[in-house]
């Protein structure tokens, strides 16, 4: 089994975790490869990820690391086992405490796959495609860079204009991303399995603007309304992005491929909400 590894080297525990992976790999028939920036953390040299086809991807970090791994393997739908060594790790299914058990379960095939839809984003400008098919699992966000200042954005769905937004930005989120930035901006939680996208304005300058839930097949276009076209960014999963120029159009739609997350426990989505996001937690209140 070809197993790729990505991780966040800022976590002090990562060196020890990689040593445990290296020790377990021969017992499970894992052929390891790793992103180059982890090279000096392995107890022995491990080949670099070089575009080879993977059967499994291990991610060590928080949700950001898992999202990065999902973008790296997006075209191939590689199963991803997230090991949370971050703060929340909502998407991860394993922890350092059960790492060996998790690796053994994956080797046995004792797991379930949860398919999550992702987004593809195309930036169009001057009659041509400038940045084709950038993939995001959580969200695509059009927002102001630099000084916090309102911008005006025009949003259309399936070529019908929704309206102009005066806001700090616009989030287009998947079901997965509905529990991330969109949730912080006041958007709804979309349960996995509900095929929908969420369009959420960031700090809108009117109470008349509320998040919109649209079918996953919707074709969403965002344009910056002049003269608010300076220093506007489009970012993917809050990690990578590019500047927009005047007259650019950001086209967001559902990607044809899915991201496959490994689930080891029988814990349901709402149980995970309660445990990791303290959803509906009233334990600090006393009955009267």
Which carries the bigger pLDDT value, residue 127 or residue 4?
Answer: 4
pLDDT, one tens digit per residue, over 188-231 is 999 988 999 999 999 998 888 899 999 999 999 999 988 766 78
pLDDT, one tens digit per residue, over 246-268 is 888 999 999 998 999 999 877 78
pLDDT, one tens digit per residue, over 8-35 is 998 888 999 999 999 999 999 999 999 9
Which carries the bigger pLDDT value, residue 277 or residue 4?
Answer: 4
- Give the pLDDT score at 47: 94
pLDDT, one tens digit per residue, over 63-110 is 999 999 998 888 889 999 999 997 777 888 999 999 999 999 999 999
- Fold (CATH) for 119-256: Tumour Suppressor Smad4 (2.60.200)
Q: Which residue has the tokens 């703060």?
A: 87
CATH 2.60.200.30 domain range(s) in the chain: 119-256
Question: Between vectors from CA 156 to CA 153 and to CA 161, what angle results, nearest 5°?
Answer: 95
* 60 contacts 85 by C-beta, under 8 angstroms: yes
Give yes or no for residue 51 having a pLDDT over 80.
no
User: CA 267 → CA 169, 201, 220, 274, distances in Å?
Assistant: 35, 32, 34, 11
Could you tell me what percent of the chain has a pLDDT over 90?
A: 66
Query: 48 burial class (0-12, 13-18, 19+ CB within 10 angstroms)?
Result: middle
- Give the pLDDT score at 100: 96
C-alpha 158/C-alpha 155 separation (Å) is 10
- Give the pLDDT score at 109: 93
Please, which pLDDT band fits residue 185 given cuts at 50, 70 and 90?
A: very high
CATH 3.40.50.10330 domain range(s) in the chain: 2-111+264-277
* Residue 27 CA, distance from chain mean position: 32
Report the CATH superfamily, name and number, of domain 2-111+264-277: Probable inorganic polyphosphate/atp-NAD kinase; domain 1 (3.40.50.10330)
pLDDT, one tens digit per residue, over 124-158 is 887 667 766 788 999 999 998 766 678 899 999 99
* Order of strands, sheet of 212-215, starting from the edge strand that comes earlier in the sequence: 212-215, 196-202, 169-173, 139-144, 232-236, 240-244
Active-site positions read 63
């Amino acid at each position: 089994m070809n197993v790729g590894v990505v991780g966040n080297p800022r976590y002090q525990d990562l060196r020890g975790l990689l040593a445990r992976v290296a020790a377990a790999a021969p017992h499970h028939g894992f052929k390891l490869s790793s992103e180059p920036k982890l090279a000096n953390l392995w107890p022995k040299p491990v080949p670099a990820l070089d575009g080879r086809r993977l059967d499994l991807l291990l991610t060590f970090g928080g949700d950001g690391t898992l999202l990065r791994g999902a973008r790296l393997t997006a075209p191939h739908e590689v199963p991803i086992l997230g090991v949370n060594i971050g703060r929340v790790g909502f998407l991860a299914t394993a922890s350092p405490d059960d790492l060996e058990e998790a690796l053994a379960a994956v080797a046995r095939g004792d797991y379930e796959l949860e398919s999550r839809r992702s987004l593809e984003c195309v930036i169009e400008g001057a009659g041509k495609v400038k940045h084709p098919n950038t993939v995001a699992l959580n969200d695509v966000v059009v927002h102001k860079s630099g000084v916090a200042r309102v911008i005006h954005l025009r949003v259309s769905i399936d070529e019908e204009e929704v309206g102009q937004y005066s806001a700090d930005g616009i989030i287009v989120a998947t079901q997965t991303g509905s529990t991330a930035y969109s949730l912080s901006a006041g958007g709804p939680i979309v349960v996995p399995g509900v095929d929908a996208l969420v369009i959420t304005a960031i700090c809108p300058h009117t109470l008349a603007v509320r998040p919109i839930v649209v079918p996953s097949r919707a074709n969403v276009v965002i344009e910056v309304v002049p003269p608010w076209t300076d220093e506007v960014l489009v970012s993917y999963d809050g990690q990578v992005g590019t500047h927009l120029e005047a007259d650019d159009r950001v086209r967001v739609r559902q990607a044809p491929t899915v991201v496959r997350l490994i689930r080891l426990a029988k814990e349901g989505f709402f149980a995970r909400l309660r445990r990791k996001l303290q959803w509906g937690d009233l334990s600090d209140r006393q009955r009267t």
